[in-house]
Amino acid sequence: MDQLIQENKLSKEEIFETLNQFITEVIGEEFVEEMDITPASSFTKDLEMDSIEIVAFSEKVKNHFGSNIDFTGWLSNMDLDEIIQLKLENIINYIQECQ
Amino acid sequence: MPVIDLPNVRLHVQELNPEGQETIIMVHGMFSNLAVYYFNIAPMLAKHFRVVLFDMKGHGMSEKVQTGYDLTSMTNDLRDLMDELGIEKAHLAGYSYGGLVALKMAARFPERVGKLAIIEGPDPSEQETLAIIDTYSREFLIHYIENFADTTRLLAGKRQLEKNHRMYEFLFNETSIRSDMEAEKGFFNDPAVAAISHETLLIYGEESNCVPSGRTLASRIPNSRLVLAPGDHNVPVQQPEVIGKELTEFFVRYDEMYVTDALAGCG
């Protein structure tokens, strides 16, 4: 739908901004205002996202960055403890590698 | 976010490997959502099948509705979803109350169900499930989240606690879920359950209070096999790899000609 046509590789900052926007859409602006979202933020501990919110976030990532990244497949190789530890920067790095 | 309009309700649906030849539809349990399958179990099955996950009404990101949590309404929803997605026949996997939905589906629409996998389906005449509802309180909720919820190992922060609290408040106080579940007490004694002829896998956690329910089903459904996995009622969360492997072996066994490639990685 809003798939991005990439002429050039996105920088880490640009990816971070996009992911930040998705997080805001998933958990709501009123909660995000109270948080300091950084690349070092972890999904479950810092952002307090639960599994269904991570699903919603994953779908936004897939729809936006397109089919050349297999975000769900990447996540499925992690066990739950790794998903709990997952930080925004891990995803930023993954998306950069896939570009 | 794919939310699909059905005649009676709007449901949040996720699909993996849409090109798969055969389809498995997975049904989650009460007070849970499709995320219980999404991260581990569904991707394992998606190496071989088209996998459809959905949030039940009132749960996850599906529409919040006040009535229709009984098994007949739930299976009407599932039939409507299959119609909408153009799925004539699918294998079903259901966890906890979702297992009862899968059983009811096989009983009501046998021609639309392939194989049947029931994980920790509780006998609704046992008081365990209903007792959880009756003892509901905020203190109980905290205890529940820490010990029993699918999010067991995800630390519940304040926002999550409140979100969960709102979900329970809604389901218990504003919907018919309690009376709908109570009305299903006699389900295991329904002759339609004993008449299920589908190949059926019953997976229960060996430490679970629901094991007797599994034995009851194993004795009533002729073409069934009971497997005990390490864990309790939360076995899909505790042992997703074990459950994913059991389900894959069960569903793939006679259908290996349809094996499709795994979801492509990024390299």
Quick check: B43 and A80 CB within 8 A?
Answer: no
The number of folded domains in chain A is 1
Contact A51 B153 (CB under 8 A): no
A54: buried, middle or exposed (CB in 10 Å: 19+, 13-18, 0-12)? buried
Chain B residue at shortest CA distance from A86: B154
CA pair distance B68, B76, nearest whole angstrom: 10
What is the rounded distance in angstroms from the CA atom of residue A4 to the CA atom of residue B107?
46
Between B39, B150, B266, which is nearest A83 by CB?
A: B39
Residue A52 has its nearest CB partner, among B35, B158, B237, at B35
Top-confidence range, A79-93, B152-166, B233-247? B233-247
Give the chain A residue whose CA is nearest to the CA of B240.
Answer: A79
pLDDT band of B71, cuts 50, 70, 90:
very high
Q: Does B19 touch chain A (CB under 8 A)?
A: no
- Separation of alpha carbons B228 and B211, rounded Å: 8
Find the CB nearest B151 among A45, A51, A81: A51
The closest CB to that of B264, out of A70, A79, A97, belongs to: A70
% pLDDT > 90, chain B: 66
Chain B hits for A82, CB-CB cut-off 8 Å, are: none
Domain coordinates of chain B in residue numbers? 3-123+186-258
Write the pLDDT tens digit of every residue in B98-127. 999 999 999 999 999 999 999 999 998 876
In a domain, A4, yes or no: no
State pLDDT tens for residues B191-228: 999 999 999 999 999 998 899 999 999 999 999 999 99
A70 contacts chain B (CB < 8 A) = yes
Question: Would A82 be classed as within a structural domain?
Answer: yes
Burial zone of B158 (CB within 10 Å; 0-12 exposed, 13-18 middle, 19+ buried): exposed
Mean pLDDT over A7-17 rounds to: 86
CATH code of the domain containing A49: 1.10.1200
Chain A nearest-CA residue for B47:
A73
Give the mean model confidence (pLDDT) for residues B8-34: 94
Nearest Cβ partner of B61 from A27, A56, A68? A56
Structural domain includes residue A75: yes
A59 found inside a domain:
yes
The C-alpha of A70 sits at a distance from chain B's nearest C-alpha, in angstroms, of: 5
Q: Residue B160 and residue A48: Cβ atoms within 8 Å?
A: yes
pLDDT in tens, A29-88: 888 887 889 999 988 888 888 888 988 998 899 889 877 788 878 887 887 778 778 899
B59 touches B31 (CB < 8 A) = yes
List chain A residues with CB under 8 Å of B155. Answer: 44-45, 84
Question: What is the CATH architecture assignment of B3-123+186-258?
Answer: 3-Layer(aba) Sandwich (3.40)
Q: Please check whether residue A93 lies inside any domain of the structure.
A: yes
> Which of B:227-266 have CB within 8 Å of A?
237, 240, 262-266
Give me the domain span that covers residue A55.
12-98
pLDDT at residue B158, rounded to an integer: 73
| Rg, C-alpha atoms of chain A | 13
Looking at beta carbons, which residues of chain B come within 8 Å of A98?
266-267
